[in-house]
Amino acid sequence: MESKPNYFLIPTDFTEQTYIALEQSYNLARFHNARLLLLFVSDEEDKNARKKLEDMAIKARKESGLVVETMVKRGNIYTEIEKLADSIEPKMIVMGLESKIGFDKLIGPNAFRLIRESRFPVLTIRGKVHKKGCENILLPLDLTKETREKVSKALELAKDYGANIRIVSVLSSTKERDENKLMAYSTQVRDYIKKSGVKTSIRTLRGKDVPKMVLNYGYSIDADLILIMSKAELNLREFFIGTVAQRLINESNIPVLSIRPTPKAVTGSTLGS
């Protein structure tokens, strides 16, 4: 029986940022031996969409050497992305974001809902200038149980790229007990990563504005990727003030890879178990 092909799903609206996102997908898609699927969705008929999409695909095939497929759908873009993702089970959804004030016309008000609820990793790309490779992966750690799930994914990506993992411990609490726990956990993560053969370092940040601290540190080390966990649900307060994950995605010029926590997150302290 023939195995199901791997896909990177790339929604596009033909803006500059979606072309940048497409180019950024090439290297990761090669590592996963994946095809690229370019998706255009509109609630109105666009007679030129198929031609523009195929032109985009021809250019991508030439630049990447990958198999590139196209698909045009009518309807709500969030709904169509979700349905297609459930069908093809992509290795990753790659989205270009135009503005840090909302998510531009590509996804509109449903953008963060897609990122928050997707069963598949979502890579969001907002900055205009990016390297073709990846040298530094920024791994923010806190004391939530979901943060442990990021470590194995960061290791996988670091080995694919030959990248370093730069751990950043974020301390928004002034409690000595919390600080000691986070420092101990960060050290454990560092040692685990080192034993896996990947270069790593730790930096501790203290303050209340977590997204701003993480981003400023990311820019200072020339990070190529930030790895975060998205939340499947938001309470009312978070909806109004925005979560750390949402602000990072919305403000970062560094690509952000969002992974939804699995229903049964690892809660023990032993990494890799």
| Structure tokens given for 224 | 């190529």
More confident residue, 260 or 9: 9
Look at the alpha carbons of 86, 90, 91, 94 in this order and tell me if their dihedral is positive or negative: negative
pLDDT of 270 above 70? no
User: What are the φ and ψ backbone dihedral angles of 235, each rounded to 5 degrees?
Assistant: -85, 175
* Pick from 74, 17, 65, 66: nearest CA to 37: 66
Count CA atoms within 13 Å of residue 160 on its CB side.
Answer: 17
Within the chain, strands assigned E span 6-11, 34-42, 68-74, 92-96, 122-125, 136-141, 164-171, 200-206, 225-229, 256-259
Look at the alpha carbons of 84, 242, 222, 136 in this order and tell me if their dihedral is positive or negative: negative
Amino acid at 112: F
Domains and CATH numbers, the chain: 6-125 (3.40.50.620), 136-259 (3.40.50.620)
pLDDT band at 122 (very low <50, low <70, confident <90, very high): very high
| Structure tokens given for 77 | 């873009």
pLDDT, position 55: 95
Question: By three-state DSSP, how is residue 209 classified?
Answer: coil
Do residues 199 and 165 make contact, with C-beta atoms less than 8 angstroms apart? yes
Residue-wise pLDDT tens digits, 5-35: 899 999 998 888 899 999 989 988 988 899 9
pTM attached to this predicted model:
0.84
More confident residue, 47 or 174: 47
| Structure tokens given for 62 | 């030439």
DSSP-derived pairing of the beta strands 68-74 and 136-141: unpaired
Residue-wise pLDDT tens digits, 139-194: 998 766 666 678 888 998 899 889 999 999 887 767 778 778 888 888 999 999 99
